Amino acid sequence: SLDVPWLDLRCGGDGYVMLSSESPPDLVKKMTPDHPPMSCQHPGALDDGNLEFGFAAAGAFGAQWALQHLRGNKPPVQAMGSLTYGAFEFPTTEVSA
């Protein structure tokens, strides 16, 4: 784990995910599998005239997070959702005894 604050922003279509150094490590591991870099637009979206703006939502969360850090205020910890369907709940992480 890093000793500095960090932020992971991801998007696809109209969806976005934001995780930070304050997110539970098990959740970060579950939500950030290795995958190749890709466009934030779905395949064929531009040809179909279906540009979506999840990237803008992710960028807004990132800007808010950075400014809150610079101000010395508590930044958002994590967020996930869709511009069409609203905020989503993160999956629960199982606890092994």
Specify if 37 maps to a domain: yes
Specify if 30 maps to a domain: yes
88-97 pLDDT tens trace:
999 886 665 5
- pLDDT for residue 95: 60
Specify if 93 maps to a domain: no
Give the range of the structural domain holding residue 78, as residue numbers without chain letter: 7-87
Specify if 54 maps to a domain: yes
Specify if 96 maps to a domain: no
Tell me how many domains the chain contains.
1
Specify if 25 maps to a domain: yes
Low-confidence spans in the chain with pLDDT less than 50: none
- pLDDT for residue 96: 59
Specify if 79 maps to a domain: yes
Please enumerate in sequence order all residues whose Cβ is within 8 A of that of 5, keeping only pairs 6 or more positions apart, or say none.
Answer: 20, 21, 22, 69, 75
Specify if 2 maps to a domain: no
pTM above 0.75, yes or no: yes
